Copies of this chain bind each other. A is one copy, B any other.
Amino acid sequence: MIIVMSPKADENKTDAVLERLKRAGFQIHLSQGVERTIIGAIRDRTRMGDLALAAMPGVESVVPILQPYKLASRAFKEEGTIVRVGDIAIGGEEIHVMAGPCAVESREQLLEAARLVKEAGATLLRGGAFKPRTSPYSFQGLEEEGLKLLAEAREKTGLKVVTEVMDASTLPMIAEYADILQIGTRNMQNFFLLREVAKVDKPVLLKRGVSATIEEWLMAAEYIMAGGNYNVILCERGIRTYESFTRNTLDLAAIPVVKHLSHLPIIVDPSHAIGKWRFVPPMAAAAVAAGADGLLIEVHPNPAEALCDGPQSLTPTNFQSLMQDLKSVAGVFGRKVGGN
């Protein structure tokens, strides 16, 4: 950490800052320039905490040097983490596609969707049983009935199941049915929920908050890991910007950046990011070219009849054609699309 003192700060103020740093166990490096004094303070990352340094008299600014996360950092663990879901390995050579409808709507719809995406090469089935909806008047999901249908689809197709957890109270029930627990974008900083999923022995798919920095996202992963669950998969799903033609702006640079800063696997959800099916396939291909370990894609047997997110869902035909492209792009980088 670097503390920049104000040009007008006298010696007493600087001494007070130094005193506090020493008490907190920091190693000090003092640089007294002509114009101002700069203090370098170094401490073992594991004893992090809060010091109200920026509130002390004479302090102009405080510049952190080390990343605030530890367990999630590449420095902590050099080789990439591989998250195993049964016989599936996420984060390795294989790129896994998680596909299916936004919401589980009916037995017929889900089994049909599962069959179709399996056939096209997906290895995991997505589908919401509990749905976070901006409006209280929108369809909120089939709840436990939806979970049972997901389990039935898994049995029939062999696809693993990923579904969203919205609250600690329904977590035990969802954990019984799901293979991967999804934390949605609105809950990325629901710290109570993060601590709860940390205690469950299931991989967690952690979506990036719609206005979270990459650092805040890795801090959310740190919450789960600090609670004992190391099987975290990150999911980029678009960030909120001023551009409103697409629903959000897909930040594909997050892929190589996360791989540089962290050892955790990262996948991409182009469907929610873009919000219009027409632009989903090129962004899915781009995600693979940028190094994603997987994709989360909305596919519906009949998007125009979907109860949720129809406009961003691919038809089965479009999905099949996309999967062909993904396999070829993956091949360029020595990877393959999982399960094929």
Contacts and interface: CB of A to CB of B under 8 A. Distances in A.
A202 B227 CA distance: 33
Interface residues of A, number: 104
A189 B136 contact: no
Contact of A286 (B34, B213, B244, B287): B287
A55 B38 CA distance: 24
Chain B CB within 10 Å — which of A33, A306, A308 has the most? Answer: A33
Interface in A147-188: 166-169, 186-187
Contacts of A303: 52, 55
Given A252-B286, A282-B290, A325-B333, A241 B239 contact: yes
Contacts of A215: 245
Contacts of A69: 135
A99 interface: no
Given A137-B49, A306-B55, A256 B242 contact: no
Given A241-B249, A243-B251, A192 B169 contact: yes
A304 B13 CA distance: 12
Given A242-B241, A249-B253, A42 B52 contact: no
B308 A50 contact: yes
A214 B242 CA distance: 11
A285 B335 CA distance: 15
Interface in A272-308: 273-274, 276-279, 282-283, 285-291, 303-308
Contact of A190 (B187, B211, B282): B187
Interface stretch (A84-92, A119-127, A216-224): A216-224
A101 to B, nearest CB: 12
A339 interface: no
A329 interface: yes
A92 B159 CA distance: 41
Contacts of A289: 282, 285-286, 288-289, 329
A2 interface: yes
A226 interface: yes
A66 to B, nearest CB: 8
A243 B215 CA distance: 10
A55 B313 contact: yes
B190 A190 contact: yes
Contact of A168 (B2, B7, B56, B169): B169
A226 B283 contact: no
14 contacts: A2-B40, A2-B63, A52-B307, A55-B303, A56-B304, A68-B137, A69-B135, A134-B216, A134-B219, A213-B243, A242-B242, A257-B279, A325-B333, A328-B332
10 residue pairs, one from A and one from B, having the closest CB atoms: A52-B310, A211-B211, A29-B31, A55-B310, A289-B289, A54-B311, A286-B286, A167-B192, A33-B42, A286-B290
